[in-house]
Amino acid sequence: MFAAARIQRRAFSASARDRPAYQARLLTCDLFSLVQLSKVTVLGAAGGIGQPLSLLLKLNPRVSELALYDIRGGPGVAADISHINTKSTVTGYDPTPTGLSAALKGSDIVLIPAGVPRKPGMTRDDLFNTNASIVRDLAKACAESCPEANILVISNPVNSTVPICAEVFKARGVYNPKRLFGVTTLDVVRASRFASQIKKTDPADENIPVVGGHSGVTIVPLFSQTSHPDLSADAELVHRVQFGGDEVVKAKDGAGSATLSMAMAGARFAESLLRASQGEKGVVEPTFVDSPLYKDQGIEFFSSKVELGPNGVEKILPVGKIDANEQKLLDACMGDLKKNIEKGVAFVAQNPGK
Ligand SMILES: NC(=O)C1=CN([C@@H]2O[C@H](COP(=O)(O)OP(=O)(O)OC[C@H]3O[C@@H](n4cnc5c(N)ncnc54)[C@H](O)[C@@H]3O)[C@@H](O)[C@H]2O)C=CC1
Ligand SMILES: O=C([O-])CC(=O)C(=O)O
């Protein structure tokens, strides 16, 4: 899949005479030639998140091919972004079944920010009726055209849209739990920024695990596991992390929810996955995945720190030691999370679509 891995394999199997040539190629190839075969697809590429996310992916030298699909405006965004002077190719696709399958064929990573965003007064769950069928149908297209790709779900409610994708893949016999991710990176990004504002630190040095799900009380920051354990008692900060999305929805006053910070968070998660796919060890990101951690409580999906690798999920790390404040948050998370997951599963059972 990736050029460097291919060259390395050839170097191993080459004759003693040819091996030095392959090894020299490995040593001398620049970063782009190392990774030239990574195709990334964005579904919903012309939206508030899709556009800046596509821009950031175009700037990423690990991406060699960028496929942009939307029900409207994909080719226009692609034409614009394609003029940026980085090596990757950019193609926009029309909203036809063949356009969608061509956008997905051969993809290594598919990011899905397609669907409607919140308006003030709405919860993420209020988006379910519209976004569930959008995600179901896009998941079907992925299951048919790129069943082995890593699927990164951004569309809300993430706690339900990820199980929807899983059910669609299962129904087609191609479900690989190691390759399905709910993107919760924005919660981690917010936690580190908000904590750094209080502690007057560089947010780049803050690494705050956030576990659970991606909505309100299901978002559980674990400050006790950082160098500022006292922050777990800061109820205002914890609330700000849990309801950071609402802060943006309110400020945008009907014009949508977080788009720019989300694009950064989505691009960061995709970059982590690319680094791990290309052999970097120890790449860890919290993400919402099919997880063994709370299956005994009937919770099939859970966000915790996950080590990424060439096959997607390499290792799901335990929640670890938490303090009494955080235990209360985790207890409060479980009820909503379970209901959100079950709602997604039930939706596909009752509405399998075409
Ligand atoms: N996971 C997270 O942390 C976050 C998730 N979100 C969610 O991301 C989603 C998108 O948000 P925005 O970009 O602000 O919305 P937007 O309305 O600006 O963009 C959505 C795009 O999806 C497209 N679309 C709709 N149906 C489609 C389909 N069937 N196939 C392809 N494209 C389709 C639309 O044409 C539009 O361009 C929302 O559900 C929002 O709640 C937003 C912020 C953070
Ligand atoms: O709040 C929203 O609806 C969008 C979102 O998921 C976030 O900003 O975390």
Q: What is the pLDDT of residues 8-53, one digit of tens each?
A: 555 555 556 555 555 655 554 444 444 447 999 999 999 999 999 9
- Taking a C-beta distance cutoff of 8 angstroms, is the pair 90, 20 a contact? no
Residue minimizing CA distance to atom 7 of ligand 1: 155
- Taking a C-beta distance cutoff of 8 angstroms, is the pair 121, 252 a contact? no
Q: What is the pLDDT of residue 37?
A: 75
| Pocket perturbation via mutation, ligand 1, pick of 94, 116, 136, 210 by most ligand atoms within 8 A of CB | 116
Ligand 1 pocket member 258 (CB < 6 A): yes
Ligand 1 pocket member 158 (CB < 6 A): yes
Question: N- to C-terminal Cα distance for the chain?
Answer: 32
Q: What is the DSSP string of 256-325?
A: -S--HHHHHHHHHHHHHHHHHHTT-S-EEEEEEEE-STTGGGT--EEEEEEEEETTEEEEEPP-----HH
Q: What is the CA radius of gyration of the chain?
A: 20
Ligand 1 pocket member 182 (CB < 6 A): no
Q: What is the DSSP string of 69-95?
A: E-SSSHHHHHHHHTTSSSS-EEEEE-S
Neighbours of 59 (CB within 10 A): 12
- Taking a C-beta distance cutoff of 8 angstroms, is the pair 36, 5 a contact? no
Residue 256 assigned ligand-binding role: no
Residue 258 assigned ligand-binding role: no
The CA 323 to ligand 2 mean position distance, Å, reads 27
Q: pLDDT tens digit string along 141-187?
A: 999 999 999 999 999 999 999 999 999 999 999 999 999 999 999 99
Q: What is the pLDDT of residue 353?
A: 85
Which 8-state DSSP code applies to residue 112? E
Q: What is the pLDDT of residue 6?
A: 46
The model carries a pTM of 0.92
Ligand 1 pocket member 5 (CB < 6 A): no
* Domains detected in the chain: 38-183 (3.40.50.720), 185-339 (3.90.110.10)
* CA gap 178, 247 in Å, rounded: 33
State which residues of the chain have pLDDT below 70. Answer: 1-36
Q: Which atom of ligand 2 is nearest to the CA of 117?
A: 3
Residue minimizing CA distance to atom 9 of ligand 2: 245
Residue minimizing CA distance to atom 6 of ligand 2: 245
The CA 258 to ligand 2 mean position distance, Å, reads 6
On the 0-12 / 13-18 / 19+ scale of CB atoms within 10 A, 20 is exposed
Residue 70 assigned ligand-binding role: yes
